[in-house]
Amino acid sequence: MIAGDWDDLSASVDAVADHLLLGVLSATRTPKNQEIRLVDIRGRPVSITATRASDGETMLIRVHAGRFGDPPLETDIFRDLRRRLAQLKGVDWAPIDW
């Protein structure tokens, strides 16, 4: 579970994608779920799935990279996403600080 503002998830994914050289292909959003499809620099698929927790303060994030998984990349995406969401929590904007 990651603490963060649900409305900041899309902007946070964009920042992480730029930082890790990922391209955003598509995003779908419902009030409780978001799914973002990306591609890495090698052309491998990456997916980020977020489910909003009932407390409204946290979300469950799942990251999958490549056909068979890529734990180092998945860890980097998760770490950077958690960091960016923390930077944006409770504020309208914040400088990106990797």
Whether the predicted pLDDT of 56 surpasses 90: no
Give me the phi and psi of 48, to 5 degrees please.
Answer: -125, 125
Whether residue 59 contacts residue 9, with contact meaning beta carbons closer than 8 Å, is answered with yes
Task: Please report how the helices 9-19 and 71-88 are oriented relative to each other, as an axis angle in degrees rounded to 10.
Answer: 130
Q: Which residues pair with 64 in a beta bridge?
A: 47
Domains present along the chain, CATH in parentheses: 2-88 (3.30.310.240)
Band (30; pLDDT cuts 50, 70, 90): very high
By residue count, the chain amounts to 98
List, in sequence order, every beta strand (DSSP E) within the chain.
Answer: 2-3, 23-29, 33-39, 45-52, 58-65
What confidence tens digit (pLDDT) does each residue in 58-95 have?
999 999 999 999 999 999 999 999 999 999 999 999 99
State the pTM of this model.
0.94
